[in-house]
Amino acid sequence: MNKVYPSAAEAVRDIPDGATLLVGGFGLVGIPENLIAALRDQGTKDLTCVSNNCGVDDWGLGLLLQTRQIRKMVSSYVGENKTFERQFLNGELEVELVPQGTLAERIRAGGAGIGGFYTPTGVGTVIAEGKETREIDGKAYVLEMPIRGDFALIKGWKADKFGNVVYRKTARNFNPMMAAAGKVTIVEVEELVEPGALDPNEIHTPSIYVQRVVVGASYQKRIEKRTVRA
């Protein structure tokens, strides 16, 4: 039951080239930065990464773009990354843009074992091209399919050695649903506690969804955009 790995490098060592990764975070909040750095150092390539965004040029998934380890991105917002823009426009990066709510629900469906769902978002746009549509109660809907990953890279706040995880404030974002939708879920945390130390009512991701836990070596509390008064 002890799922603790000694380092991020050990936790990601068996991620193969061509894997599909679910990567938690929103902007630079709640990203598994130690696991991403370990993947960069390992050199795993041809990755498909499912994440709300792709970090910035020098942080988050932007690190894997710099080293051209990502083949395809499935995201909802990518506007803060010049490397992403350049690779996409040059035809070096495949991109699937998904409306943010649809992305969240597709991942949640993947973790819940749901075969698909209908949503009005994207009807009549390029988002609906090639997808089944139908009318429900007089309104048009498009069928969206679930997303699952070979591995989920997750950032938690606290975890116990069994793999029960607690997230902190907005760092919760995409992490819980991705943790449920990965075949192998790897969680990095800031603090590791003994079993029984976490209040069961405060646990966001139960241990049944988690295969590996690692304590992050360090964390940069970076701000994506700082706005201050003159």
pLDDT digits (tens, 9 = 90+) for 200-211: 999 999 999 999
Q: What was the pLDDT predicted at 154? A: 98
**Position 222 confidence tier, pLDDT thresholds 50, 70, 90:** confident
- Residue 225, pLDDT > 80, answer no
Highest CATH level, class, for 8-114+146-215? alpha beta
Q: What was the pLDDT predicted at 220? A: 82
Q: What was the pLDDT predicted at 79? A: 79
Q: What was the pLDDT predicted at 88? A: 93
Concatenated DSSP letters of the chain: ---B-S-HHHHHTTPPTT-EEEE--BTTBT--HHHHHHHHHHT--SEEEE-S---BTTBTTHHHHHTT-EEEEEES--TT-HHHHHHHHTT-SEEEE--HHHHHHHHHHHHHT---EEESTTTTSGGGTTS-EEEETTEEEEEE----EEEEEEE-SEEETT--EE--GGGGTTHHHHHHHEEEEEEEESEEE-TT-S-GGG-SB-GGG-SEEEE-S------SS-----
Instruction: Enumerate residues 6+ apart whose C-beta is below 8 A from 104.
Output: 174, 177
Q: How confident is the model over 12-40, as a mean pLDDT?
A: 96
pLDDT digits (tens, 9 = 90+) for 142-166: 999 999 999 999 999 999 999 999 9
**Position 49 confidence tier, pLDDT thresholds 50, 70, 90:** very high
pLDDT digits (tens, 9 = 90+) for 61-74: 999 999 999 999 99
Instruction: Enumerate residues 6+ apart whose C-beta is below 8 A from 74.
Output: 48, 49, 50, 51, 96, 98, 103, 147
Q: What was the pLDDT predicted at 215? A: 97
Q: What was the pLDDT predicted at 193? A: 97
Q: What residue has token string 């965004």?
A: 53
**Position 218 confidence tier, pLDDT thresholds 50, 70, 90:** confident
Q: What are phi and psi of 128, to 5 degrees?
A: -90, -5
Q: How confident is the model over 210-228, as a mean pLDDT?
A: 88
Q: How confident is the model over 75-97, as a mean pLDDT?
A: 92
Q: What was the pLDDT predicted at 53? A: 93
Q: What was the pLDDT predicted at 214? A: 98
Q: What was the pLDDT predicted at 32? A: 97
CB-CB contact of 36 with 8 (8 Å): no
The per-residue pLDDT of the chain, averaged, comes to 95
- Residue 127, pLDDT > 80, answer yes
- Residue 1, pLDDT > 80, answer no
Q: What was the pLDDT predicted at 12? A: 98
Give domain limits for the chain: 8-114+146-215
